[in-house]
Amino acid sequence: MAQTGTARPVPRPAPGRSGRPISRRVRRRRIVAVLTVVLLAYGTADAADAVPGVLTTDPPPPEARPFPDVELPGGSVVAPAVEGPGDSAPVPSATALEELAAAFEADSRRTGTFGLVVSDAVTGEVLLDHDGDTPRSPASSLKVLTGAAALAALGADRTLTTSAVLADENTVTLVGGGDVLLAAGEGDPTEVDGHAGLGDLAASTAQSLVERDVTQVDLDLDDTLFAEPVYHPDWGPIDRQFVMAVQPLAIDSGRAGSAFSSDPAVDAAVAFADALESQGVEVTGIDRGAAPEEAEELASVESAPVSAVVRHMLKQSDNSLSEVLGRLVAVQRGREATFAGGTAAVREQLAEAGVEISGVTMADSSGLSPETTVPPSVLVDVLHLADEPENADLHGLLPALPVGGLDGTLSDRFTDEAAGHVRAKTGTLVESVSLTGTVVTHDGRPLHFSVIASDLVRGTGLQARLAIDSLVASLAVCGCS
């Protein structure tokens, strides 16, 4: 792919009206005259209180009277103590939980079969298990596993680097390092999506090039951090409407209007080339090519920390970002950054943390593939793992889940009594609906749960989701002890 550009001339300072530069002596006289008029005007206006200052014609204001002492009837006001979640709150009884599971099983809105596990978030004890060890298609609940593996493998504070290097005297290479949340222009350090900007990278790169007397370059794109294929064979045309081609460089997760890009790395390279030309560096063409090992770095920009990236992925259920994180785990563990390498690396990372992954089959890292299956019990184990004090890197996992009635993919769910009591990852496919996360009961006891309704009759996904919401809402509002 080739693109040409033209360097933009730098405008010169405007001359005086006569066409000659204005002399310093004349300008100095004008400035003195203007300042004299301004100070005289300010003194007059200030004396009349037209503008604030120290001069005034008004008398000084009287001193304020002391605030009167007031006695409240009935003594001092004390705010009522509200007991929050904790290990002192009562644990739901087995009988109450079994009744909730029976009601869900009898719910006519849910077709097919289901698996359900509820555990005590304080002790880890399983309180309810309905076919919880049977692998089922988790849909986007799988992102809980991918997010946990990314936090553990990469570290919560890790950032992802996008750089520009000088491959030879007149060739700049844009190197993707896994940040697919780039901004096309300036970055915004207060945001996660758009934290780093290609416009900022271009400005710093152009400055480095000018210092080397280089004003015209070829641009290469190095996206070799990930290997092909960029689409999983299980993903049909409909699935590709919800995920970009998996590459290590993209703007806004590869979004292109209402669709996703089939070559987001090239889109980013074009935006970078445009930004370079706006800085006065002509780009004569764009090609793909790996950067030489000896290439000199010209400039770089950094993503938000991985903890924030994982949070964004879970809140928005970002399929593109989840696939990228899976491949970054593969790179970190020395595996090839493919679908197979990423899923194997995620499973290995979780196994090292003590998760029983024998029942986990991962075709992809986002849950788009119906061939991916996970037992609800494994999802609950990962939630409990993230709660344990010794797993500091995982402590951001649970707070990253969408909050019922507030944000992310749960912003319009659990908007009544259960609002704010549920944090969970949603999941929806044609034949599978899931919800995995935490819920605080009316008594204040925090619970972990995962429910997967699978083998749904086509067209009944919405009804199954409503049934799941009723089940989890019942957990939130019940006095289950």
pLDDT digits (tens, 9 = 90+) for 17-27: 333 333 333 33
Q: b/e per residue, 335-356, with b = 16+ CB within 10 A? A: bebbbebbbbbbbbbbeebebe
Give 29's pLDDT tier (boundaries 50, 70, 90): very low
Residue 36: predicted pLDDT = 43
Residue 141 DSSP code: G
pLDDT of residue 238: 93
pLDDT at 85: 61
The per-residue pLDDT for 30 is 40
- Which pLDDT band, with edges at 50, 70 and 90, does 211 fall under? very high
d(CA 408, CA 424): 10
Strand partners, 288: 221
Residue 455: is its pLDDT beyond 70?
Answer: yes
Cα 437 to Cα 235, 322, 422, 427: the distances in Å are 26, 18, 7, 11
Give the dihedral sign, CA 290/294/295/297: positive
User: How far apart, in whole angstroms, are the C-alpha atoms of residue 121 and residue 71?
Assistant: 46
Nearest to 308 by CA among 189, 183, 223: 189
Is there a contact between 376 and 360 (Cβ–Cβ < 8 Å)? Answer: no
β partners of residue 182: 251
The answer, yes or no, to whether residue 144 has pLDDT greater than 90, is: yes
Tens-digit pLDDT profile for residues 74-88: 555 454 444 456 678
- Which candidate, 103, 145, 94, 119, places its Cα nearest to that of 438? 119
Q: Tell me what the mean pLDDT of segment 78-107 comes to.
A: 80
Q: How does residue 236 score in pLDDT terms, banded at 50, 70 and 90?
A: very high
The predicted pLDDT at position 188 comes to 98
Give percent of the chain with pLDDT exceeding 90. Answer: 80
Q: What is the mean pLDDT of residues 103-109?
A: 97
* Tokens 């005007």, residue located: 41
Tell me the pLDDT of the chain averaged across its residues: 87
pLDDT recorded at residue 88: 83
113 alpha-carbon distance from chain centroid: 33
**Domain boundaries defined on the chain:** 94-155+309-477, 161-304
From 473, 380, 343, select the one nearest 144 (Cα to Cα).
380
pLDDT, one tens digit per residue, over 161-191 is 999 999 998 999 999 999 999 999 999 999 9
Interval 267-282: pLDDT, tens: 999 999 999 999 999 9
pLDDT at 258: 86
Phi, psi dihedrals of residue 256, rounded to the nearest 5°? -130, 85
Among the listed ranges 44-48, 99-103, 110-114, 276-280, which one has the minimum average pLDDT value? 44-48
Is there a common fold for 94-155+309-477 and 161-304?
A: no
Cis amide bond preceding 229, omega within 30: yes
Q: Please state, in angstroms and rounded to a whole number, the distance separating the CA atoms of residues 347 and 339.
A: 12
Q: With contact defined as beta carbons under 8 Å apart, do 325 and 313 qualify? A: yes
41 or 307, higher pLDDT:
307
Cβ contact 304:159 at 8 Å: yes
Residues 353-380: what's their mean pLDDT?
A: 97
Range 94-155+309-477: architecture per CATH: 3-Layer(aba) Sandwich (3.40)
Q: Which of 334, 146, 117 is nearest to 246 (CA)?
A: 146
Helix (H) or strand (E) holding 297: strand 296-302
Angle at 223 between CA 220 and CA 227, to 5 degrees: 140
On the question of pLDDT at 47 being above 70, the answer is no
CATH of range 161-304; options 2.60.40.1170, 3.40.50.460, 3.50.80.20, 1.10.3720.10: 3.50.80.20
Per-residue pLDDT for 51 more than 80? no
Residue type, 99: E
Is pTM beyond 0.95 here?
Answer: no
Question: What mean pLDDT is predicted for residues 320-345?
Answer: 98
Band (pLDDT 50/70/90 cuts) for residue 4 is very low
406-431, pLDDT tens digit by residue? Answer: 999 999 999 999 999 999 999 999 99
Helix (H, G, I), strand (E, B) or coil at 212: coil
Q: Which two tokens stand for residue 174?
A: 């844009």
d(CA 258, CA 251): 14
